[in-house]
């Protein structure tokens, strides 16, 4: 494992006064969420109007979900963070150990499990530690599971059959000529 210098901002467990910058980031986050929600609603409406588009999207999401599941990280690769949210509640966040802070890892905002508000910005954070100790030099890390073979679609199979027929005709013509 490579060495990473983890950063802290504020001390989540101590008294914390929201700054002007915290208020600005929270307002910016809320505006971004509204714009993103509006775009998503417009896109979903277009998708509902076009069944072919809806099917392509479903397949794309399925492929992405399968890809994400194939990248399972080991517990010793996950850094835990204590974070204070804009609402004042303190939660735990996780990120890959290579990130120096949870905001860099994409955890700019979170959902608070206590007040059930979504999109609350992180105003303070500190590293807690890895989820598990890294294995020693003699302990073997299990190899990643093999990737499942992707089944070809009907169109891909039809294209392959057509290509093989052309190749067969070419070889027969060459053999007879």
As averages over each run of 10 residues, the pLDDT of the chain (177 residues) reads: 81 89 92 92 90 90 87 86 92 90 83 88 92 73 73 90 94 88
Whether the Cβ atoms of residue 99 and residue 105 lie closer than 8 Å to each other: yes
CA distance 107 to 98: 14
């Amino acid at each position: 494992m490579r060495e990473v210098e983890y950063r802290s901002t504020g001390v989540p467990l101590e008294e914390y006064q929201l700054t002007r910058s915290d208020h600005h980031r929270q307002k910016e986050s809320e505006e971004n969420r509204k714009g993103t929600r509006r775009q998503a609603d417009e896109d979903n409406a277009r998708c509902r109007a076009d069944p072919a588009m809806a099917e392509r999207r479903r397949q794309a999401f399925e492929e992405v979900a399968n890809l994400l599941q194939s990248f399972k990280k080991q517990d010793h690769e996950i850094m835990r963070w204590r974070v204070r949210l804009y609402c004042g509640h303190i939660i735990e966040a996780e990120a890959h150990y290579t990130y120096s802070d949870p905001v860099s890892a994409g955890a700019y905002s979170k959902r608070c499990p206590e007040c059930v508000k979504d999109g609350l910005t992180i105003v303070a954070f500190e590293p807690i530690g890895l989820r598990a100790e890294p294995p020693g030099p003699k302990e073997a890390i299990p190899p990643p599971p093999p990737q499942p073979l992707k089944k070809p679609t009907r169109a891909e199979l039809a294209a392959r059959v057509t290509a093989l027929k052309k190749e067969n005709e070419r070889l027969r013509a060459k053999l007879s000529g």
